[in-house]
């Protein structure tokens, strides 16, 4: 693991690190905020998964999580959203596929299967690296994210309910296999047999029997992707049918940007902190 940069913030340290990822077969960069409490022993870990077009840096710059994470004593880890590099297959003019759009799945189709393995990366390789290099209590983990990353958090929590104490999302995609902006990506990564998409679709995972104790979801009513891309009512229906507790909060007038995320960041961190306690 290489230290790219560290900077003191709110009494803790905001760092950026890189490493040669075996899973993604390329160098990967990620951000870690370590709160001041880490000096006194292992602290819990909260994973933040970002949305389409983002790197590790967007939420680090604009998410405003450090003040509250420093108060609550939580490590925040922010992975990238895809493999990157000059030899990584990509569609440079398509922001909904390839670099910046890994969808937190393990691709099975060529030429993507070798690098686009973000599910294994964020659930296995990166956690092992974080556990080895930071003083974290891996028995206390939670996960959240935004948009594509909010959906990533939901699916990863549903498939690993024993690992995560809580899961929340800002404006998550809820059913990527039926949304116009994500169907083409699923097909290119996973092939045309839609059965293979179900393990990477939050509402279909619930339909197929996956369960999680409780979700918190914030969604802005002025979000331009609400009606076609995000559709939180699909998650609401799926959770109601399955008996999963979902606090879905429609936030009047908020859009899809980090102005929305940063407004409700404190709520989410406090909610996770209660579950991590």
According to the binding rule CB under 8 A, does residue 10 interact with its own copies?
yes
Would you list the DSSP string of 63-75?
A: S--HHHHHHHT-E
Is 273 known to be catalytic? Answer: no
CB of 170 to its own copies, least distance (A): 13
Sign of CA dihedral 189, 195, 196, 200: positive
Q: Which of 53, 108, 178, 262 binds its own copies (CB under 8 A)?
A: 262
Is 256 known to be catalytic? Answer: yes
Q: Which is nearer to its own copies, 14 or 168 (CB)?
A: 14
Residue pair 12/35 in contact (Cβ under 8 Å)? The answer is yes
According to the binding rule CB under 8 A, does residue 170 interact with its own copies?
no
Q: Which of 82, 147, 168, 182 is catalytic?
A: 147
According to the binding rule CB under 8 A, does residue 61 interact with its own copies?
yes
Q: Which is nearer to its own copies, 66 or 140 (CB)?
A: 66
Q: Which of residues 214-233 bind its own copies (CB under 8 A)?
A: 220, 222
Whose tokens are 């002025």? That residue is 222
Sign of CA dihedral 158, 163, 164, 165: positive
Is 213 known to be catalytic? Answer: no
In Å, how far are 42, 87, 105, 119, 195 from 125, measured between CA atoms?
20, 21, 14, 10, 26
Please measure the distance between the N-terminal and C-terminal CA atoms of the chain and give it in whole angstroms: 29
| 157-170 b/e (C-beta count within 10 Å ≥ 16 → b) | bbbeeeebbbbbbb
Q: Which two tokens stand for residue 9?
A: 């913030």
According to the binding rule CB under 8 A, does residue 259 interact with its own copies?
yes
CB of 63 to its own copies, least distance (A): 10
Q: Which of 18, 19, 25, 64 binds its own copies (CB under 8 A)?
A: 64
Scanning 62-70, 188-196, 201-209, 228-236 for contacts with its own copies by CB under 8 A, the matching segment is 62-70
According to the binding rule CB under 8 A, does residue 260 interact with its own copies?
yes
Separation CA 7–CA 16 (nearest Å):
9
Beta bridge mates, 62: none
Residue pair 105/118 in contact (Cβ under 8 Å)? The answer is yes
Q: Which is nearer to its own copies, 85 or 224 (CB)?
A: 224
Q: Which residues make up the interface to its own copies (CB under 8 A)?
A: 7-11, 14, 61-62, 64, 66-67, 220, 222, 253-255, 257-260, 262-263, 266
Residues involved in catalysis:
147, 223, 256
């Amino acid at each position: 693991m290489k230290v790219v940069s560290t900077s003191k913030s709110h009494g803790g340290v905001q760092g950026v690190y890189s490493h040669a990822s075996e899973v993604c077969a390329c160098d990967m960069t990620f951000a870690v905020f370590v709160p001041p409490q880490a000096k006194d022993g292992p602290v819990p870990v909260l994973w933040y998964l970002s949305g389409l077009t983002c790197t590790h840096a967007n939420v680090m710059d604009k998410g405003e999580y450090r003040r509250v994470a420093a108060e609550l004593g939580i490590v925040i880890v922010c992975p990238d959203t895809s493999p990157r590099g000059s030899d990584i297959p990509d569609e440079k003019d398509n922001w909904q596929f390839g670099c910046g759009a890994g969808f937190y799945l393990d691709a099975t189709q060529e030429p993507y299967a070798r690098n686009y393995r973000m599910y294994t990366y964020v659930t296995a390789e990166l956690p092992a690296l974080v556990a080895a290099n930071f003083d974290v209590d891996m028995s206390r983990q939670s996960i959240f994210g935004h948009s594509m990353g909010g959906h990533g958090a939901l699916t990863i929590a549903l498939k690993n309910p024993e690992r995560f104490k809580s899961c929340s999302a800002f404006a998550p995609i809820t059913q990527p296999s039926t949304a116009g902006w994500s169907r083409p990506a699923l097909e290119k990564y996973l092939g045309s047999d839609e059965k293979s998409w179900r393990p990477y679709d939050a509402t279909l995972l619930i339909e197929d029997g996956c369960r999680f104790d409780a979700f918190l979801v914030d969604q802005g009513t002025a979000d331009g992707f609400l009606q076609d891309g995000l559709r939180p009512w699909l998650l609401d229906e799926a959770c109601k049918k399955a008996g999963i507790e979902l606090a879905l909060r429609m936030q009047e007038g908020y859009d899809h940007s980090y102005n929305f995320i940063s407004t409700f960041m404190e709520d989410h961190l406090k909610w996770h902190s209660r579950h991590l306690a």
